[in-house]
Chain A
């Protein structure tokens, strides 16, 4: 190497390794500390307390004591399994309906709305600005016995079919399973539409053209290209719908009857009215376990681990 100013230095005997100063290495921990402590104390710790409460026995007057009384779980499950099944059934049906109703709208906003896109998005989000309880009460008016909607369904003999299926009762919609599922569907529909829209909007429009160029019909294009690419939205949308729906008790309370009570209603009344804390805690624990299990299995199968 004749012309160079460069030479390889021989390996330095005692390399002066520079380390990040301790202070700088601690920065992330300081940033995390307050928020994580908050979550540990007010989210994780309560789970422990709830678990402990669920194996306590006693009464409100004499106080509760941990007696490892696991029978509470069995008793609670035996007594309230119909509400459990109902919760999962209603939440599942509502989720499916949300997907069926929400997908066309998300698709419309993502691909066909043009300059109306922003307006449509605002219209999807706008209902949020009115308290959901007020909007849920509005369904009482919409589904009242002599309302336009119920009259129309009656005239079209839809109610005959739904009554036969056990979804409605006679000429009534209010205070039936259908009313509760309709309320759940309505309440969580935006949580389905927004993630769907986000993942649809990311799809490069040229992919559709490419698929059609390669002899795919519009239906095949949807099945083989659009839908698979929107899977992240489908997965997070269904989770965002199913999870809150499974624990909801507002719709069942306001739009349903004693025959449509969900597990949320039971937990709420056991905790706040009956004051049977162990049973309520056990039910809540079972619900949590079931939902977490279902969500984990679902995420594994859908193959999108990174949701946060």
Chain B
């Protein structure tokens, strides 16, 4: 009883963790399923079929490629625009700062469906053709605020004396930015980029409204929930999970080793 009271937080925390991880375990397990019928919701028997032929479902891998392209472009756009805004916010004084801060905060404080619907009314009114470009525009828009927030945090914690030191040591404005400011802000920009990529790649609601007949990977999954879920969806989900975790772990190990050799 004493033990239980002492470890209550640990037990509760681990239960929450189990709740978070459980669906991933199910996704992984069911990537080895051989379902009866169109839906992959009940366990039938072990099979490697889907893993042997991940692109065996019509249009799935095309949608995946499209989503990756979309995420890459959206990230690039949001990072460039967002980094510029973040620098302006931290490093300069200007008018209407409050209004600009609100404009950046609001997209994050808005239910996605509202942004999705209002953007659709804009595109409908302008007579724009829904597709890749409308989705890209939308993704850059909602990723922008997150990039600004991530970069701003990093730039704010940056010692302004570093840039002064660079200028003092004969680096002009351009050199100062390239050699000192940018490398030091890089972790913030990278964090913003990673977040933007993840948000764009996994976005469903805004894409659902503005994609027209373009099918991104989340759109494909959504459609398959109606038509029938191929096992290959689980294969993709599992593969992405495993690759990402491996990258994170490898990154940890490399940075640990670098730290060790550096201090040795």
Contact = CB atoms under 8 A, between A and B. Distances in A.
* Chain A interface mostly: helix
A43 B115 CA distance: 7
B13 A108 contact: yes
Interface of B: 8-10, 12-17, 19-24, 26-27, 30, 41-42, 80-82, 84-85, 87-88, 91-94, 100-101, 103-107, 109-115, 117-122, 124-125, 137-138, 140-141, 144-145, 148-149, 152, 198, 201-202, 204-205, 208-209, 217-218, 221-222, 225, 229, 233-234, 236-238, 240-241, 243-245, 248-249, 252
Contact of B30 (A32, A50, A141): A141
Contacts of B119: 42, 46
B13 A123 contact: no
Contacts of A134: 27, 221, 233-234, 236-237
B113 A101 contact: no
Contacts of A42: 119, 122, 137-138, 140-141
Given A28-B88, A105-B16, A124-B17, A264 B113 contact: yes
A107 B105 CA distance: 28
Contacts of A150: none
Contact of A31 (B88, B120, B202): B88
A27 interface: yes
B94 A29 contact: yes
Given A28-B92, A280-B117, A272 B209 contact: yes
Given A43-B141, A141-B26, A291 B111 contact: yes
Contacts, number: 255
Interface in A110-127: 112, 118, 120, 122-124, 126-127
A32 B118 contact: no
A277 interface: yes
Contact of A108 (B10, B107, B115): B10
Contacts of A295: 109
Given A38-B141, A288-B111, A131 B244 contact: no
Nearest to A284: B117
